[in-house]
Amino acid sequence: MATGASWQQQYSPASGNPTSTAGLGNNPSSSTNLFYETGLTMEYTQDLHLKMSKKIAQLTKVIYALNTKNDEHEDAIQTLKEAQEDEVAQILSETREKILQYKSKMADEAELRRRLQSLEESAELHEHMKRQALAEFEMYRQRMEDTQLCTEAQHTQRVVSMSREVEEMRHDFEEKLRAFGQVQAQFEQEKRRAVEELRATHRLEVQELLQSQQDQSASSSLDQEKLAELHRAEVEALMQRVEELSQERVRLVEDYEAKLTKAQAFYERELEAMRRTQQLTTENLLAWKRTEVELRKEFQVQEAALQRTLGKLRAELQRAQEESRETRDKTNRLQASLNSAECTIKELHKQLEEAIQDGEIWVMQLKDTEYELECSRDRVQQQARQILHKASQIGSLQATQMSLEATMRDLESEQGRLRERIVELEQEREQLQVQTKSLEEQQHQQIQALEKTLSEEQQKYESELAQVKAKYEEEVERLKETQTQALDELTEKHIAMQESARNAAEREKDQRIADMGQQFEIRRLSLEEQRNHLQQQLENLREELSAKAGIANQEVCHLQELVRDGELNLQSAQGHICCLKETQEKLLMELDATRARVRETSNMLTDLQEELTTQKQQHDAKVISIKTEEKQKMDKMAEDLDMKWTAALSAELESLRDELGAEHDAEKQGSLAQLAQQRDLEMMAARDTWQRKVEDLLEQISLLKQSLELQLSQSKGALQQLQSQFAQEREHLAQEMQEMTLDHQHRERRLQEAHCIAVQTMDEARQRNLRVRHSLRGLANSGLISSIPSLLPCCHAVRLILVTPLPSSPSGCEPSALPAISPQQQQQQQQQQQQQPVSVAMPQWVLLPQWALPQWVLLPQWALHQWVLPQWVLLPQGLL
């Protein structure tokens, strides 16, 4: 490293080594000859050499200090820019991670809301099923009470009617006995009368015979015997008739007594059966009441447990919502702080851009000055002023550099604060994640417990319903068995009524199916409206998220643009290209991963659709099988009833025909009417039971349809969400890829242009270097500049600009050095030069520094536009 001391040691007069100076001072003839040969004149003295060496040493010190400061400042700015780029990249990655985390949190919250909605729906369904079961139980209890009341009323009516019939039969029997006694008395009277008449006639005949015997003594004994035989025969016939009548009377009394005993036994059996049925109904009612009380207690306990669980879940929901609100507030605050930091960063970047623009403006001004220098020679004084202005600009640039360093320090402190804030936010995020995980586990456990309780309750209800149905069927069978013993000729009426009942049941079934279809359509429309509302909410949320993502992307793009501008200004394109390539590879990997996810989701969706289709098919098959089973059961029940009724009717008809006969037609009609009423009631009860079963099955079918529709809506919503997310991600990735490709292309173009320019400048510098070396060797060989070999290392180290001394003016003034002059003196000199124009011949060759060109170069005087300068001048880099 060359310093001013080395220059002073070499060129001071006290050093006692005037070899270099003597070389130039003792050879005036060679130098003058050379310059005369080139067409120039020059005077060179020892004093001028010493002054020039001192000024050059001072200027080398100043320039070396400035260059070192500029290098340090450039290195510091480069390191700060690299650190800023790294921090910006870290902030971008952290912001992306936070955005993804917030998206995952939003998805988790949506899933929790869906789960809570499903739980609420399941609880509502449970309550609905419970209400339906209670309503069915109450309906069944009311029906049983109504049937019990009806049976009691019928029993009382039958008892009353039977008592009336018994009394009527007694009256009839008494009347018949009275009539029989009257007939017997009349018959005895008639018999007595006939006997008396016969006796009278016999007496008369005897008297007549006696008279005739007396009159006719000649009558024979044969006539008397014949008459006696005739009389005896008549008497015997009359006696036989009397005996037959008495036997008929005894037989009629025995028949009546037997019929009375049979009727009494029949009525007593019926009374015992009615008493038994009444006892069974009372026992069943008591058992049903007990079961009802137990079921109500169990339902109350379960309702209390479910309400507690629902309260806990609602409290947890409120807590989770409050926590989510707090997290949102925190995120908003963090976003505000980030926005403020970004605003400050933008302002600093704007200041940097303004400073860079000022530098560019100064460069443009320098170019304009070069153009003006090329145009005219008379602007030398203005160029001197520009030199001073450029010196002030250098000072202002140093001030701007200091201000930029201060701003960079402030940015570093703000970045440290942001990092601390980010660490705190990450800790809060971890705490929130732990809390959300614990809440999810608790909710999952509660859901499992609720599902277990629901399954157990369903099993209990199913077992109880099965028991109740079995009991009811047993009771129905008993009632049928007890009541199928008193039916008669009603097969045709039964068939007609059965057909009418079937038609009515089919009509009612069609009406109910139509009503259920209308309700199903209403429910479907309401569900579609809810789905549309939810879709609108989801779209709003998506728009908000997309707006936030767009804002974040814009901010990221702005930061990337700022980073790119900084990189372009700082010429760090290769590292950024590597980073872009890595990011491109990462994006490609992410694209592949997203495509794999899309494929997996599509496969999952296809599997879900297949499962839904299979479930629909199974549901349709179950519905068809249930309908066929119901029809078969109805047909079997109808056939069994027909067979039973026909068998019972035939048996009872035969028994009644054999037992009662023609006298009990009225009784038969009354019993048949009662049996028909009972049969109608039984048919109505059976119809009601079948209608209930059909309604239950239809309700189950509607519930299954609702569950399937819910599953379909959920799957459709999930599909739409996934499709929208994947579309957004694809668009985002495509935009990023396009932007990255465009940036990559622009940077490649810029790098190629910079590389071409650098190659051209290097070639030109090499050529100039060769020319300078050749010229310097020629000058050294000619002896014009004997001290250049000793000055070359120093000038090469400190990057000096040396210009060959110009010839003196015609007036004979001595040459002077430009540096180390005060600004006031420079202004005075400039004013003098303006007033007194100089017309001095310029040398043909000029020596330029390494920082303006790669190495020393010899240029002709026309390249410097024939400046009118002092003999020795130190030119700055900006002029060239």
For the segment 247-251, the average pLDDT, to the nearest whole number, is 78
Amino acid at 872: W
**DSSP for 29-67, written as a single string:** HHHHHHHHHHT------HHHHHHHHHHHHHHHHHHHHHH
| Contacts for 173 with CB less than 8 Å, ≥ 6 apart | 256, 260
Q: Enter the tokens of residue 584.
A: 């491109």
Is the Cβ–Cβ distance between 805 and 788 less than 8 Å? no
Q: What is the dihedral of CA 589, 594, 600, 606, to 10 degrees?
A: -150
For the segment 348-353, the average pLDDT, to the nearest whole number, is 72
pLDDT band at 484; cut points 50, 70, 90: low
pLDDT value for 32 = 45
pLDDT value for 383 = 59
Taking the alpha carbons at both ends of the chain, their separation in whole angstroms is 25
For the segment 856-874, the average pLDDT, to the nearest whole number, is 43
For the segment 219-227, the average pLDDT, to the nearest whole number, is 67
pLDDT value for 21 = 38
**DSSP for 186-202, written as a single string:** HHHHHHHHHHHHHHHHH
Q: Enter the tokens of residue 261.
A: 């005993």
**DSSP for 412-472, written as a single string:** HHHHHHHHHHHHHHHHHHHHHHHHHHHHHHHHHHHHHHHHHHHHHHHHHHHHHHHHHHHHH
Q: How many residues does the chain have?
A: 880
For the segment 210-219, the average pLDDT, to the nearest whole number, is 66
Q: At which residue do the structure tokens 């005996």 appear?
A: 243
Q: At which residue do the structure tokens 């910006």 appear?
A: 88
pLDDT value for 26 = 42
Q: What is the spatial distance between Cα 45 and Cα 23, in angstroms, rounded to a whole number? A: 11
Q: How do residues 139-184 score in pLDDT, each as one tens digit?
A: 877 877 787 788 777 777 777 777 777 777 777 777 777 777 777 7
Q: For residues 831 and 869, which has the higher predicted lDDT (pLDDT)?
A: 831
Which of 803, 826, 778, 787 minimizes the C-alpha distance to 49?
Answer: 787
Phi, psi of 535 (to 5 degrees): -65, -40
pLDDT above 80: residue 763: yes
pLDDT value for 614 = 74
List Cα–Cα distances, 263 to 169, 255, 256, 270, 675, in angstroms: 10, 12, 10, 10, 17
Is the Cβ–Cβ distance between 499 and 709 less than 8 Å? no
Task: For 311-328, give the secondary structure using H, E and C.
Answer: HHHHHHHHHHHHHHHHHH
pLDDT value for 715 = 67
Please state, for a pLDDT cut of 70, what percent of the chain lies above it.
Answer: 56
Which of the residue ranges 300-314, 481-495, 547-561 has the most confident prediction, judged by mean pLDDT? Answer: 300-314
pLDDT above 50: residue 14: no
Is the Cβ–Cβ distance between 852 and 770 less than 8 Å? no
pLDDT value for 588 = 67
How far is Cα of residue 117 from the mean position of the Cα atoms in its chain?
13
pLDDT value for 580 = 63
Q: Enter the tokens of residue 96.
A: 């992306």
Q: How do residues 250-275 score in pLDDT, each as one tens digit?
A: 887 787 778 777 777 776 777 777 77
pLDDT band at 328; cut points 50, 70, 90: confident
- Parse the chain into domains and list their residue ranges: 4-44+785-879, 487-649+700-759
pLDDT above 80: residue 242: no
Is the Cβ–Cβ distance between 769 and 857 less than 8 Å? yes
Q: Enter the tokens of residue 10.
A: 């070499």
List Cα–Cα distances, 742 to 124, 731, 749, in angstroms: 57, 16, 10
Q: How do residues 769-780 score in pLDDT, each as one tens digit?
A: 788 777 777 766
Q: Reduced to 3 states, what is the DSSP secondary structure of residue 860?
A: strand
pLDDT value for 114 = 81
pLDDT band at 542; cut points 50, 70, 90: low
List Cα–Cα distances, 826 to 388, 823, 871, in angstroms: 10, 5, 15
- Helices 46-215 and 4-11: crossing angle in degrees, nearest 10, is 160
| Contacts for 699 with CB less than 8 Å, ≥ 6 apart | 132
pLDDT band at 424; cut points 50, 70, 90: confident
Q: Enter the tokens of residue 4.
A: 């001013």
Which of the residue ranges 48-57, 416-425, 481-490, 828-837 has the most confident prediction, judged by mean pLDDT? Answer: 48-57
799: left (phi over 0), alpha (psi -120 to 50) or beta: left
pLDDT value for 653 = 65
Which of 509, 688, 641 minimizes the C-alpha distance to 147?
Answer: 688
pLDDT band at 849; cut points 50, 70, 90: very low
Query: Mean pLDDT for the chain?
Result: 68
Is the Cβ–Cβ distance between 780 and 853 less than 8 Å? no
pLDDT value for 774 = 77
Q: Reduced to 3 states, what is the DSSP secondary structure of residue 552?
A: helix
For the segment 292-304, the average pLDDT, to the nearest whole number, is 76
Q: Enter the tokens of residue 395.
A: 């000072």
For the segment 567-576, the average pLDDT, to the nearest whole number, is 58
Is the Cβ–Cβ distance between 359 and 397 less than 8 Å? yes
16 DSSP assignment: S
Q: What is the spatial distance between Cα 130 and Cα 138, in angstroms, rounded to a whole number? A: 12
Q: Bridge-partner residues for 860, per DSSP? A: 845
Q: How do residues 595-614 score in pLDDT, each as one tens digit?
A: 676 667 667 666 766 766 77
Q: Which helix (H) or strand (E) holds 859?
A: strand 857-860
Q: Lowest mean pLDDT: which of 23-27, 89-93, 625-629?
A: 23-27
| Contacts for 80 with CB less than 8 Å, ≥ 6 apart | 405, 408, 412
Q: How do residues 35-45 score in pLDDT, each as one tens digit?
A: 444 444 444 57
Q: Which helix (H) or strand (E) holds 405?
A: helix 380-483
Amino acid at 567: E
pTM of the model: 0.21
Please state, for a pLDDT cut of 90, what percent of the chain lies above it.
Answer: 0
pLDDT above 70: residue 364: yes
For the segment 443-450, the average pLDDT, to the nearest whole number, is 71
Is the Cβ–Cβ distance between 180 and 252 less than 8 Å? yes
Q: What is the spatial distance between Cα 162 and Cα 276, in angstroms, rounded to a whole number? A: 18
pLDDT band at 3; cut points 50, 70, 90: very low
pLDDT above 60: residue 877: no
Task: For 753-790, give the secondary structure using H, E and C.
Answer: HHHHHHHHHHHHHHHHHHHHHHHHHHHHHHCCCCCHHH
Buried b / exposed e across 315-332, counting CB within 10 Å, b at 16+?
ebeeebeeebeebeeebe
Q: Enter the tokens of residue 589.
A: 């990997």
pLDDT value for 831 = 57
Which of the residue ranges 26-30, 482-486, 674-678 has the most confident prediction, judged by mean pLDDT? Answer: 674-678
pLDDT band at 566; cut points 50, 70, 90: low
List Cα–Cα distances, 610 to 300, 617, 621, 701, 719, in angstroms: 41, 10, 16, 20, 15
pLDDT band at 525; cut points 50, 70, 90: confident
pLDDT value for 844 = 40
pLDDT band at 449; cut points 50, 70, 90: confident
Q: What is the spatial distance between Cα 338 and Cα 418, in angstroms, rounded to a whole number? A: 8
pLDDT value for 661 = 62
How far is Cα of residue 294 from the mean position of the Cα atoms in its chain?
43
Q: Enter the tokens of residue 146.
A: 């109504």
Q: What is the spatial distance between Cα 683 and Cα 239, in angstroms, rounded to a whole number? A: 62
pLDDT value for 34 = 45
817 DSSP assignment: B
